[in-house]
A and B are shown apart, each in its own frame.
Chain A
Amino acid sequence: AQSVTQLDSQVPVFEEAPVELRCNYSSSVSVYLFWYVQYPNQGLQLLLKYLSGSTLVKSINGFEAEFNKSQTSFHLRKPSVHISDTAEYFCAVNPLGYQKVTFGTGTKLQVIP
């Protein structure tokens, strides 16, 4: 079985400041890793994912996440946040060869003007 831990339920940050949303996972097998985002009053959508290859993956809106196998982490970072980044962010893990995905409890990012 696998699990995902997002320790921070809420993260307030000032506009243009950097942010890191933490995600740790546990699994007995290799995994694929995802970050999904849910903007206010909208459905979840994929932000970025790690399947293989380079451990650093990037989204089109400036977020990046690095897969760290030794620390079983997949933290999400952005060097300078915008008001429009205010949303809830979910980390998820998917064991290789299986379709079932386990989600974390989510982190609400609140960007303060």
Chain B
Amino acid sequence: GAGVSQSPSNKVTEKGKDVELRCDPISGHTALYWYRQSLGQGLEFLIYFQGNSAPDKSGLPSDRFSAERTGGSVSTLTIQRTQQEDSAVYLCASSSPPLAGGETQYFGPGTRLLVL
């Protein structure tokens, strides 16, 4: 399929462990977003990548969270020393140019993270 894919779909980890979440955006989409969806909290913006520009990291909740995007395509969200409050569904979305605002975001199915 040509949609946004994320892996793994589910991840169970122990408190204190590091986790990596992967996102493959739609081919040709230069903008990529990470969100966190917690019960009753809606979608919380984490980070935004646009082409080769510096990412907007203003939503990352702590320095335990980081993300990178290699080759302008695949992105990895890393959470170090996981805490129980990190348990949530992590969503990735991508959108296409012209990127003047108003573009539709296409979401992946999410990664459900459970920290024990």
Report A's interface with B, CB cutoff 8 A: 6, 9, 32, 34, 36, 42-46, 49, 51, 90, 94-106
Contact = CB atoms under 8 A, between A and B. Distances in A.
B10 to A, nearest CB: 13
B42 A46 contact: no
B108 A95 contact: no
B102 interface: yes
Contacts of B72: none
Nearest to B99: A99
14 contacts: A43-B107, A44-B43, A44-B107, A45-B107, A49-B102, A90-B42, A94-B102, A99-B50, A99-B99, A101-B105, A103-B42, A103-B45, A105-B40, A106-B42
Given A9-B40, A100-B56, A103-B35, A32 B45 contact: no
A38 to B, nearest CB: 9
B91 interface: yes
Contacts of B26: none
A103 B46 CA distance: 12
Contacts of A6: 42
B95 interface: yes
Interface of B: 4, 31, 33, 35, 40-43, 45, 48, 50, 56, 91, 93, 95, 99-110
Contacts of B56: 100
Contacts of B42: 6, 90, 103-106
A94 B108 contact: no
Contact of B104 (A49, A98, A100): A49
Nearest to A42: B109
Given A45-B107, A96-B100, 16 more contacts: A34-B104, A43-B4, A43-B107, A43-B108, A43-B109, A44-B93, A44-B107, A45-B106, A46-B105, A99-B48, A99-B50, A99-B103, A102-B45, A103-B35, A105-B42, A106-B42
Contact of B43 (A51, A90, A96, A98): A90
